[in-house]
Structure 1
Amino acid sequence: MLGRIQTIGSQLLSKGEVLSTKFIGKTNALMQKSMYYGKVGAELSKTVYKQEGFQPPKIGEFKKVYCNIFEMGKHYMNKPQAFIGLVKGAGKNDLIKFGAYGVQLLGFYSVGEVIGRRKIVGYRTT
């Protein structure tokens, strides 16, 4: 009886070892592919950035955009009925467009959080 239990236990352990080895191998291969494609994407982005002559916005452009947004916010705070009319007048395509913008902003925020924490889930405790 004891020998049979030991045999079954050793068989289970050997199967577990084989499965974990396969899992680690696949995970390692996936990680290497991810690193490779990440580097390729970064180099491609760098090349496009240089070829197209992209550059960050100038301070004046930044200031102009955010001043306009601030002024619009003040206007709609003083006249909330105008904002309600704007929302009611929005069509289906506008709602889809702004929903997509919201998803993009959430994605950028989430990536920033991951980078800031240097961890995908939760915060480091040490």
Structure 2
Amino acid sequence: MFRHVVRKSMAGVRNQSTVSKAKDAVSDKVEQLTGLFNKTVYWTKVTGELAKQVYLKEKLSPPSVAEIQSVYQTLYTQGVHYAQRPLEFVNVLSKSLDKNTLINGGAYLVQFAGLFALGEAIGRRKLIGYPSFQSHH
């Protein structure tokens, strides 16, 4: 009987130790997340205030409705014009593109494709293939 009581009390000590370790780990994570949240809020407010000062100092203002309509009307008419005359579009495009423009465009395309692939790998949490969520037999 004495051994049984000692075993029960030792199991309770082990469980208390495990529970206290778990509580400590959780409280540490909560403190880290709270600190990260506070830093994020702080820097968001700093950035907002800086943007507000730049906006006022540069006397910036959003475009008027007439300006927006003018831009989109011009884009629409040019789009319809070149859609009806594709060879003219190709000629204008070939005259405006030089070697440096193509190289820069290719570099941006490679960067975009690389960032897209990186985002996909992070989202999948695997470098190659997708995780299988089926049970394996």
Percent of counterpart pairs with the same letter? 25
- Which residue does the alignment assign to 1:23? 29
* Normalised TM-score (structure 1): 0.61
CA RMSD of superposed structures (Å): 3.1
Distance 1:8 1:75 in 2: 80
Distance 1:19 1:84 in 2: 64
- Which residue does the alignment assign to 2:20? 14
- Which residue does the alignment assign to 1:35? 41
- Which residue does the alignment assign to 2:78? 72
Distance 2:37 2:51 in 1: 21
Q: How does 1:100-119 map to 2 (within 5 A)?
A: none
* Normalised TM-score (structure 2): 0.57
Unaligned runs of 5+ in 2: 1-6, 116-137
Distance 2:8 2:79 in 1: 77
Unaligned runs of 5+ in 1: 104-126
CA-CA distance at 1:6 after TM superposition? 3.1
